[in-house]
Structures are given as structure tokens and as C-alpha cells.
């Protein structure tokens, strides 16, 4: 293992830790993970440097443009070649993740399903990846089935993203009471305002106006105390709450 390789890994880890601690968009973790030092450089130029120079003007579409500039199609080609050379579970999962980023959900689902074999037949991270691909494919019944399987085979596995997928799938299937129960639990621990906001929206849709208003107001009250960077990340859900909250 060369010194340069070790250094690149350390830089990636440092950037990923910074993304998480600073509350920036989670897609940066994927960019840094998949594109190594190139992803780290993009993160520095678009997120860290503007903050250091006091010129924090990164636009909402900047991350999407970074993905395009890094030629994801070329990355897909390389990952596909890796799979041809070695039909390993790791290579299947890596390519499936890239397919999801590109919106190729059928291909991703097939790879995840193929990866669920042998000692990996109930692997929780693969099941979660499959559920994610199925959700974007709008196959909500299969999302529910997949996540139920994950819960049954790994009752101690924790994932707030997986839990949110489960709640959203129940809502999409119009299993509203079950969805409300899941959102209620999510509201107690989910980082960020998405779960709380979706909970409030469903409550309002079902006629529980007073309870929904309490949640919308809670989002607005807490948002006033957020650091600027974190408020920017939560902007979508703060804006939704602002549109629905009624003045006292």
C-alpha cells in the first residue's frame, strides 16, 4: 500500500467527516466516495473555499453539475468492466449504486437481487440498497416487502433512511394509519426536518389539522435557531412548513 494511496484515503475520510459534521447535502459523501481525490477537490472548491473567502454563493444546482462534470457515464463503464472481470458481490453493489445515481433503476434492482445470494442472501445493506432502488422505481409494495424482510432477519439493524423509506412506501400504498405510526416514531429521532414535515403533511391530509399545525410550527420555531449552513440544507422542508403553518 503506497503512501499516496494512504494519503488519498485519509483525505477522503476527512472530507466525508466534514460533510457530516457541517450538515451539508449527503450526496457529497457519494461524490467523494466514488470519485476519490477528484470528488474531494470539487467539494473543496464548491463548499469549503467559498466559506473561507466569505463568498458562499454555491447554487442549488452546483452538486448536480459536479456529477455531470465528473462524467458518471465513464464511471459506470469502469464499474461494469470491474464486474466483468470479477463477478463479486462488492462489484455488483458498486455498479448498482451507480445505476441508481443515473436513474437506471431496473438495472440496479436486477444487480441488487443477484447480489442477494449465498452468505449475502439477507445482507442488510444490500436489502436497503434494493429497497432504495425499488422506491425510486415506484414499486412501493416491493419496498415494503424488502424492508419487512430486512427487519425480520436483522431486528437490531438501524437506518433512519430505511425507516423513512418504509413510512413513505406505506403512505404511497395508502396504508395511512400504519404510515402515521412510522412517522410518529421517526419524529423522535430522525435528523433533519423531512420526517417531521412528511408526518405533518399526512396528518393534515387526513384531517388532523391541529396536530399538523403543531408540527409545522415546531419546524419554524426550531429553524430560527439553526446555523446558516444547516438551515440551507433543510430549506426545502422549512419552506414547506412555512407555506402550511397558519398565523396565530
Whether 180 and 220 share a structural domain: yes
* Owning domain of residue 182: 162-248
pLDDT computed for residue 57 by the predictor: 44
pLDDT computed for residue 60 by the predictor: 45
pLDDT computed for residue 58 by the predictor: 46
| CATH for 81 | 1.25.40.10
Whether 143 and 200 share a structural domain: no
Rounded-to-integer distance, Cα 126 and Cα 183, Å: 24
Rounded-to-integer distance, Cα 196 and Cα 132, Å: 20
Rounded-to-integer distance, Cα 26 and Cα 233, Å: 10
Whether 247 and 173 share a structural domain: yes
| CATH for 202 | 1.25.40
pLDDT computed for residue 51 by the predictor: 64
DSSP string, the chain: --HHHHHHHHHHHHHHHHHHHHT--THHHHHHHHHHHHHHHHHIIIIIHHHHTT-----TTHHHHHHHHT-HHHHHHHHHHHHHH---HHHHHHHHHHHHHTT-HHHHHHHHHHHS-GGGTT-HHHHHHHHHHHHHTT-HHHHHHHHHHHHHH-TT---HHHHHHHHHHHHHTT-HHHHHHHHHHHTTT-SSSHHHHHHHHHHHHTT-HHHHHHHHHHHHHHHTTS-HHHHHHTHHHHHHHHHHPPP-
pLDDT computed for residue 10 by the predictor: 81
pLDDT computed for residue 59 by the predictor: 46
Residues 6+ apart with CB under 8 A from 166: 131, 143, 144, 147, 182
69 located within any domain: no
Whether 84 and 144 share a structural domain: yes
Rounded-to-integer distance, Cα 8 and Cα 48, Å: 18
pLDDT computed for residue 187 by the predictor: 95
pLDDT computed for residue 216 by the predictor: 96
Q: Report, as ranges of residue numbers, the positions in the chain whose pLDDT lies below 50.
A: 1, 56-61, 67, 70-71
Rounded-to-integer distance, Cα 46 and Cα 58, Å: 6
Please give the distance of CA 208 from its chain centroid, rounded to a whole number: 29
pLDDT computed for residue 248 by the predictor: 66
Whether 86 and 150 share a structural domain: yes
Total domains in the chain come to: 2
To the question of pTM greater than 0.75 for the whole model, the response is: no
pLDDT computed for residue 73 by the predictor: 59
**First CA to last CA distance, the chain:** 63
Whether 177 and 203 share a structural domain: yes
Amino acid at each position: 500500500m503506497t503512501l499516496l494511496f494512504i494519503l488519498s484515503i485519509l483525505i477522503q475520510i476527512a472530507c466525508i467527516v466534514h460533510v457530516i459534521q457541517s450538515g451539508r447535502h449527503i450526496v457529497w459523501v457519494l461524490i467523494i466516495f466514488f470519485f476519490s481525490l477528484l470528488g474531494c477537490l470539487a467539494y473543496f472548491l464548491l463548499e469549503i473555499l467559498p466559506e473561507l473567502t466569505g463568498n458562499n454563493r454555491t447554487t442549488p444546482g452546483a452538486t448536480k453539475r459536479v456529477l455531470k462534470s465528473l462524467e458518471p457515464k465513464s464511471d459506470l463503464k469502469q464499474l461494469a468492466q470491474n464486474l466483468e472481470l470479477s463477478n463479486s458481490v462488492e462489484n455488483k453493489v458498486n455498479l448498482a449504486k451507480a445505476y441508481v445515481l443515473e436513474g437506471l433503476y431496473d438495472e440496479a434492482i436486477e444487480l441488487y437481487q443477484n447480489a442477494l445470494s449465498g452468505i449475502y442472501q439477507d445482507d442488510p445493506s444490500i436489502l436497503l440498497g434494493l429497497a432504495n432502488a425499488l422506491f425510486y422505481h415506484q414499486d412501493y409494495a416491493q419496498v415494503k416487502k424488502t424492508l419487512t424482510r430486512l427487519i425480520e432477519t436483522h431486528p437490531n439493524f438501524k437506518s433512519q433512511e430505511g425507516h423513512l423509506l418504509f413510512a413513505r412506501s406505506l403512505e404511497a400504498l395508502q396504508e395511512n394509519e400504519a404510515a402515521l405510526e412510522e412517522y410518529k416514531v421517526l419524529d423522535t429521532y430522525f435528523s433533519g426536518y423531512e420526517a417531521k414535515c412528511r408526518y405533518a403533511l399526512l396528518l393534515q391530509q387526513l384531517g388532523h389539522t391541529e396536530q399538523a399545525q403543531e408540527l409545522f410550527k415546531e419546524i419554524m420555531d426550531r429553524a430560527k435557531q439553526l446555523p446558516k449552513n444547516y438551515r440551507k440544507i433543510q430549506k426545502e422542508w422549512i419552506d414547506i412548513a412555512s407555506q402550511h403553518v397558519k398565523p396565530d
